[in-house]
Amino acid sequence: EPEVTQTPSHQVTQMGQEVILRCVPISNHLYFYWYRQILGQKVEFLVSFYNNEISEKSEIFDDQFSVERPDGSNFTLKIRSTKLEDSAMYFCASTDRRGASTDTQYFGPGTRLTVL
Amino acid sequence: SQQGEEDPQALSIQEGENATMNCSYKTSINNLQWYRQNSGRGLVHLILIRSNEREKHSGRLRVTLDTSKKSSSLLITASRAADTASYFCATDGLPSSGDKLTFGTGTRLAVRP
């Protein structure tokens, strides 16, 4: 069964460093998302992406964040200058959204980001 | 309460018993989805119910949706130790509101062998 994959599974970085989190969405999906979950808290929406541009972003997704689909398969989240409060699990999701049965968002296993 | 609040926050049952988790939300929705998360792991999609549906089944799972009360319930029948996880409801808004998911706080389910 197709699945969303994410790399790395765990990333440790120093405050102020740039990180790039990578995702490979399900191959025929068109809509892509990033969410994050701070330890012990709710999963929060960061950004949605369709047709090579951001569809929607949350207040969390400030100028330090950017997303890119550099090729036909990868979808990346970049944090330019990490802060301690960026420590969280980051989830990528994708969906087809072309029919009644395809609104399900499928999530990857997550990347645990630890900022020291 | 916030969009997507589950109750109870924690539930402990014996293997073989049924587990019922509830979710309430505040704004109109297009779909409501339930996800499972094992400790520190990814989100596994369980079931999606549309705003015009009232009940849906998938294996041992039964989901109901009451849009008049803005609430949903997830029933897991004949629970197993492997069902131990956190369960989240997630709603997406009307098409004009975008399709981002708003997650609830989750119910931590522990199934004792």
Q: Does B43 touch chain A if contact means CB atoms closer than 8 Å?
A: yes
A88-105 average pLDDT score: 80
| pLDDT at residue B1, rounded to an integer | 36
CA distances from B87 to B51, B77, B108 (A): 20, 15, 6
Work out the minimum CA distance from B26 to partner chain A, whole angstroms: 16
| pLDDT at residue A26, rounded to an integer | 92
Work out the minimum CA distance from A81 to partner chain B, whole angstroms: 25
d(CA A65, CA A46): 9
pLDDT tens-digit readout, B77-87: 999 999 999 99
| pLDDT at residue B40, rounded to an integer | 74
pLDDT tens-digit readout, A39-64: 888 899 999 998 889 999 999 999 99
Chain B partners within 8 Å of A56 (Cβ): 98, 100
pLDDT exceeds 60 at position A94: yes
Lowest-confidence pick of A9-18, A25-34, B14-23: A25-34
Sign of the C-alpha dihedral, residues A107, B2, B34, B9?
positive
The confidence band for B88, taking pLDDT boundaries of 50, 70 and 90, is very high
pLDDT exceeds 80 at position A102: no
pLDDT exceeds 50 at position A77: yes
| pLDDT at residue A13, rounded to an integer | 97
d(CA B80, CA B113): 7
Q: Which residues pair with A17 in a beta bridge?
A: none
* Nearest Cα to Cα of residue A7 among A105, A106, A100, A90: A90
What amino acid occupies position A14?
Q
Interface A-B, measured as beta-carbon pairs within 8 A, has a size of: 58
* Nearest Cα to Cα of residue A87 among A114, A65, A59, A109: A114
pLDDT exceeds 80 at position B97: no
| pLDDT at residue B2, rounded to an integer | 42
B36-42 average pLDDT score: 86
Let me know: does A95 contact A105? Beta carbons within 8 Å: yes
